[in-house]
Amino acid sequence: MLTIAYDGTDYHGFARLKEDPDTIEGNIDRAIKKVTGETVEITGASRTDSGVHALCNAAVFDTESSVPAFNFTDALNTKLPPDIRIRRSTEVPGDFHPRHTDTLKTYRYEIDNERTADPLRSRYSMLVGYALDTDSMNRAGAELVGEHDFKSFCSVHTQAASTVRTVTGIEVIRDGTCSERIYIMVRGHGFLYNMVRIIAGTLIDVGRGRLAPEDVTDILYAADRTKNPCPTAEAKGLTLMDIEFLGLEDR
Protein backbone atom coordinates (compact mmCIF):
# COMPACT_ATOMS: atom_id res chain seq x y z
CA MET A 1 0.00 0.00 0.00
CA LEU A 2 1.31 3.39 -0.99
CA THR A 3 0.47 6.65 0.77
CA ILE A 4 0.55 9.29 -1.94
CA ALA A 5 0.76 13.10 -1.91
CA TYR A 6 0.40 15.17 -5.06
CA ASP A 7 -0.07 18.67 -6.39
CA GLY A 8 -2.93 17.98 -8.81
CA THR A 9 -2.51 21.22 -10.80
CA ASP A 10 -0.84 19.64 -13.81
CA TYR A 11 -2.70 16.28 -13.83
CA HIS A 12 -5.97 15.07 -15.29
CA GLY A 13 -7.17 13.55 -12.04
CA PHE A 14 -6.22 10.46 -10.10
CA ALA A 15 -7.94 7.77 -12.18
CA ARG A 16 -6.09 6.14 -15.06
CA LEU A 17 -7.44 7.19 -18.49
CA LYS A 18 -6.79 5.31 -21.68
CA GLU A 19 -4.51 7.27 -24.04
CA ASP A 20 -3.85 9.99 -21.45
CA PRO A 21 -0.51 9.64 -19.68
CA ASP A 22 -1.08 12.61 -17.34
CA THR A 23 -3.00 10.98 -14.51
CA ILE A 24 -1.69 10.20 -11.03
CA GLU A 25 -2.40 6.47 -11.44
CA GLY A 26 -0.76 6.40 -14.86
CA ASN A 27 2.42 7.96 -13.48
CA ILE A 28 2.59 5.53 -10.55
CA ASP A 29 1.88 2.50 -12.76
CA ARG A 30 4.83 3.50 -14.96
CA ALA A 31 7.12 4.13 -11.96
CA ILE A 32 6.34 0.64 -10.59
CA LYS A 33 7.12 -0.86 -14.00
CA LYS A 34 10.52 0.86 -13.92
CA VAL A 35 11.25 -0.49 -10.43
CA THR A 36 9.92 -4.08 -10.70
CA GLY A 37 9.58 -4.68 -14.45
CA GLU A 38 5.97 -5.70 -13.82
CA THR A 39 2.95 -4.24 -15.59
CA VAL A 40 0.52 -3.34 -12.81
CA GLU A 41 -2.55 -1.19 -12.38
CA ILE A 42 -2.72 0.24 -8.89
CA THR A 43 -6.09 0.42 -7.10
CA GLY A 44 -6.64 3.82 -5.50
CA ALA A 45 -8.67 4.74 -2.45
CA SER A 46 -9.94 8.11 -3.75
CA ARG A 47 -10.31 8.96 -7.39
CA THR A 48 -9.82 12.70 -6.97
CA ASP A 49 -10.91 15.03 -9.79
CA SER A 50 -8.61 16.78 -12.21
CA GLY A 51 -6.84 19.63 -10.38
CA VAL A 52 -7.59 18.33 -6.86
CA HIS A 53 -4.64 17.78 -4.50
CA ALA A 54 -3.88 15.16 -1.87
CA LEU A 55 -1.62 14.86 1.14
CA CYS A 56 -2.55 11.26 1.96
CA ASN A 57 -4.30 9.39 -0.82
CA ALA A 58 -3.64 5.64 -0.88
CA ALA A 59 -3.36 2.84 -3.41
CA VAL A 60 -2.49 -0.85 -3.40
CA PHE A 61 -0.93 -3.19 -5.91
CA ASP A 62 0.27 -6.81 -6.07
CA THR A 63 3.87 -7.58 -6.86
CA GLU A 64 6.18 -10.60 -7.11
CA SER A 65 9.13 -8.31 -6.40
CA SER A 66 11.53 -9.14 -3.60
CA VAL A 67 12.02 -5.44 -2.84
CA PRO A 68 10.84 -4.93 0.78
CA ALA A 69 7.63 -2.89 1.01
CA PHE A 70 9.38 -0.12 2.97
CA ASN A 71 11.91 0.45 0.18
CA PHE A 72 9.29 1.21 -2.47
CA THR A 73 8.98 4.77 -1.08
CA ASP A 74 12.43 5.90 -2.18
CA ALA A 75 12.57 3.61 -5.22
CA LEU A 76 9.35 5.01 -6.69
CA ASN A 77 10.14 8.63 -5.77
CA THR A 78 13.27 8.58 -7.91
CA LYS A 79 11.07 7.56 -10.90
CA LEU A 80 8.17 9.95 -10.24
CA PRO A 81 7.86 13.66 -11.11
CA PRO A 82 8.49 15.92 -8.07
CA ASP A 83 4.83 16.90 -7.72
CA ILE A 84 3.85 13.27 -7.01
CA ARG A 85 5.46 11.82 -3.88
CA ILE A 86 5.15 8.46 -2.15
CA ARG A 87 5.15 9.20 1.58
CA ARG A 88 4.94 5.64 2.94
CA SER A 89 4.90 2.09 1.57
CA THR A 90 3.78 -0.85 3.66
CA GLU A 91 2.56 -4.41 3.23
CA VAL A 92 -1.18 -4.99 3.68
CA PRO A 93 -3.24 -8.24 3.59
CA GLY A 94 -3.59 -9.60 0.04
CA ASP A 95 -7.40 -9.31 0.10
CA PHE A 96 -7.42 -5.67 1.20
CA HIS A 97 -9.27 -3.36 -1.23
CA PRO A 98 -9.08 0.36 -0.39
CA ARG A 99 -12.54 1.14 -1.80
CA HIS A 100 -14.30 -1.91 -0.29
CA THR A 101 -13.19 -1.01 3.22
CA ASP A 102 -14.88 1.39 5.60
CA THR A 103 -12.91 4.63 5.64
CA LEU A 104 -13.02 8.04 7.23
CA LYS A 105 -11.83 10.68 4.76
CA THR A 106 -10.95 14.28 5.58
CA TYR A 107 -11.05 16.95 2.89
CA ARG A 108 -10.09 20.59 3.20
CA TYR A 109 -11.51 23.27 0.93
CA GLU A 110 -9.40 26.43 1.04
CA ILE A 111 -10.78 29.91 0.29
CA ASP A 112 -8.51 32.91 -0.19
CA ASN A 113 -10.89 35.60 1.10
CA GLU A 114 -9.10 38.68 -0.20
CA ARG A 115 -9.63 41.13 -3.02
CA THR A 116 -6.44 39.98 -4.75
CA ALA A 117 -5.19 36.38 -4.83
CA ASP A 118 -2.21 35.39 -2.72
CA PRO A 119 0.15 34.01 -5.43
CA LEU A 120 1.68 31.61 -2.89
CA ARG A 121 -1.72 29.95 -2.34
CA SER A 122 -3.35 30.40 -5.75
CA ARG A 123 -2.59 26.81 -6.83
CA TYR A 124 -4.33 25.50 -3.70
CA SER A 125 -7.21 27.85 -2.98
CA MET A 126 -10.19 29.54 -4.58
CA LEU A 127 -10.26 33.34 -4.53
CA VAL A 128 -13.54 34.70 -3.10
CA GLY A 129 -13.43 38.48 -3.12
CA TYR A 130 -16.63 39.22 -1.15
CA ALA A 131 -17.18 39.00 2.61
CA LEU A 132 -18.25 35.60 3.95
CA ASP A 133 -20.16 35.00 7.17
CA THR A 134 -18.54 31.90 8.61
CA ASP A 135 -21.16 31.56 11.37
CA SER A 136 -23.88 31.06 8.73
CA MET A 137 -21.60 28.69 6.84
CA ASN A 138 -21.10 26.62 9.99
CA ARG A 139 -24.86 26.50 10.63
CA ALA A 140 -25.46 25.37 7.04
CA GLY A 141 -22.70 22.78 7.32
CA ALA A 142 -24.31 21.32 10.44
CA GLU A 143 -27.50 20.67 8.41
CA LEU A 144 -25.55 18.27 6.20
CA VAL A 145 -23.92 16.19 8.94
CA GLY A 146 -25.35 12.68 9.26
CA GLU A 147 -26.54 9.93 6.91
CA HIS A 148 -28.45 11.49 4.03
CA ASP A 149 -29.23 11.09 0.35
CA PHE A 150 -26.72 13.57 -1.08
CA LYS A 151 -28.10 13.58 -4.62
CA SER A 152 -28.43 17.40 -4.49
CA PHE A 153 -24.68 17.52 -3.75
CA CYS A 154 -23.51 15.19 -6.46
CA SER A 155 -22.62 15.62 -10.13
CA VAL A 156 -25.46 14.64 -12.46
CA HIS A 157 -22.85 12.39 -14.12
CA THR A 158 -22.57 10.11 -11.09
CA GLN A 159 -22.69 6.36 -11.73
CA ALA A 160 -23.13 5.49 -8.05
CA ALA A 161 -25.85 2.91 -7.34
CA SER A 162 -26.80 4.70 -4.14
CA THR A 163 -26.41 8.39 -3.35
CA VAL A 164 -26.72 7.88 0.41
CA ARG A 165 -23.57 8.83 2.30
CA THR A 166 -22.59 9.64 5.90
CA VAL A 167 -20.87 12.93 6.65
CA THR A 168 -19.46 12.93 10.18
CA GLY A 169 -18.40 16.56 10.43
CA ILE A 170 -18.23 19.91 8.64
CA GLU A 171 -16.35 22.78 10.19
CA VAL A 172 -15.67 26.22 8.74
CA ILE A 173 -12.58 27.90 10.18
CA ARG A 174 -11.36 31.43 9.57
CA ASP A 175 -7.61 32.05 9.77
CA GLY A 176 -6.59 35.69 9.57
CA THR A 177 -2.98 35.27 10.67
CA CYS A 178 -1.33 36.51 7.48
CA SER A 179 -4.28 37.24 5.26
CA GLU A 180 -7.93 36.23 5.31
CA ARG A 181 -8.25 32.53 4.61
CA ILE A 182 -11.20 30.24 5.25
CA TYR A 183 -11.01 26.45 5.47
CA ILE A 184 -14.02 24.19 5.05
CA MET A 185 -13.13 20.86 6.65
CA VAL A 186 -15.39 17.98 5.57
CA ARG A 187 -15.11 14.50 7.01
CA GLY A 188 -17.12 11.40 6.21
CA HIS A 189 -17.33 7.77 5.13
CA GLY A 190 -16.92 8.18 1.39
CA PHE A 191 -18.18 10.86 -0.95
CA LEU A 192 -19.99 11.10 -4.28
CA TYR A 193 -18.64 12.58 -7.51
CA ASN A 194 -17.93 16.34 -6.92
CA MET A 195 -19.70 16.13 -3.52
CA VAL A 196 -17.18 18.10 -1.44
CA ARG A 197 -16.84 20.76 -4.14
CA ILE A 198 -20.65 21.17 -4.32
CA ILE A 199 -20.86 21.36 -0.51
CA ALA A 200 -18.14 24.05 -0.63
CA GLY A 201 -19.94 25.96 -3.42
CA THR A 202 -23.17 25.82 -1.43
CA LEU A 203 -21.60 27.00 1.83
CA ILE A 204 -19.90 29.88 -0.02
CA ASP A 205 -23.32 30.97 -1.34
CA VAL A 206 -24.63 30.83 2.24
CA GLY A 207 -21.62 32.80 3.48
CA ARG A 208 -22.27 35.63 1.03
CA GLY A 209 -25.98 35.72 1.92
CA ARG A 210 -27.51 34.30 -1.26
CA LEU A 211 -29.07 31.46 0.75
CA ALA A 212 -30.01 31.09 4.41
CA PRO A 213 -28.56 28.15 6.36
CA GLU A 214 -32.08 26.61 6.54
CA ASP A 215 -32.35 26.64 2.74
CA VAL A 216 -29.61 24.04 2.67
CA THR A 217 -31.95 21.57 4.40
CA ASP A 218 -34.57 22.08 1.67
CA ILE A 219 -31.89 21.56 -0.99
CA LEU A 220 -30.75 18.36 0.76
CA TYR A 221 -34.31 16.96 0.97
CA ALA A 222 -34.99 17.75 -2.70
CA ALA A 223 -32.40 15.07 -3.56
CA ASP A 224 -31.87 16.54 -7.02
CA ARG A 225 -28.76 18.41 -8.21
CA THR A 226 -30.89 20.59 -10.49
CA LYS A 227 -32.76 21.85 -7.38
CA ASN A 228 -29.47 23.06 -5.93
CA PRO A 229 -28.72 26.49 -7.48
CA CYS A 230 -25.18 26.61 -6.08
CA PRO A 231 -22.07 26.04 -8.20
CA THR A 232 -19.44 23.34 -7.88
CA ALA A 233 -16.48 25.14 -6.29
CA GLU A 234 -13.19 25.15 -8.26
CA ALA A 235 -11.13 21.95 -8.13
CA LYS A 236 -7.89 23.67 -7.17
CA GLY A 237 -9.16 24.66 -3.70
CA LEU A 238 -9.69 21.03 -2.66
CA THR A 239 -7.15 18.83 -0.90
CA LEU A 240 -7.66 15.29 0.37
CA MET A 241 -5.98 15.55 3.77
CA ASP A 242 -6.34 12.08 5.27
CA ILE A 243 -7.86 8.64 4.83
CA GLU A 244 -8.30 6.44 7.86
CA PHE A 245 -8.94 2.80 7.01
CA LEU A 246 -11.15 1.50 9.80
CA GLY A 247 -10.20 -2.01 10.81
CA LEU A 248 -6.81 -1.85 9.12
CA GLU A 249 -3.92 -1.52 11.51
CA ASP A 250 -1.95 1.70 11.53
CA ARG A 251 -0.17 2.17 8.23
Q: Does the annotation count 95 as an active-site position? A: no
Give yes or no for residue 83 binding its own copies (CB under 8 A): yes
C-beta of 146: minimal distance to its own copies in Å? 27
Annotated catalytic residue: which of 7, 29, 49, 205? 49
Residues 50-79: x where in contact with its own copies by CB under 8 A, - otherwise, as a string: ---x-x-----------------x---x--
C-beta of 83: minimal distance to its own copies in Å? 5
Among 124, 150, 183, 245, binds its own copies (CB under 8 A): 124
Among 157, 176, 178, 226, binds its own copies (CB under 8 A): 178
* 144 φ/ψ sector (left φ>0, alpha ψ -120 to 50, else beta): alpha
Of 238, 161, 166, nearest to 196 (Cα)?
238
- DSSP for 45-93 reads S--PPTT-EEEEEEEE------S-GGGHHHHHHTTS-TTEEEEEE----
- DSSP for 129-170 reads -S---HHHHHHHHHHH-EEEE-GGGS-TT---S--EEEEEEE
C-beta of 27: minimal distance to its own copies in Å? 12
Which residues are designated catalytic? 49
Binding positions for its own copies, rule: CB under 8 A: 5-7, 53, 55, 73, 77, 82-87, 114-120, 122, 124, 178-179, 239, 241
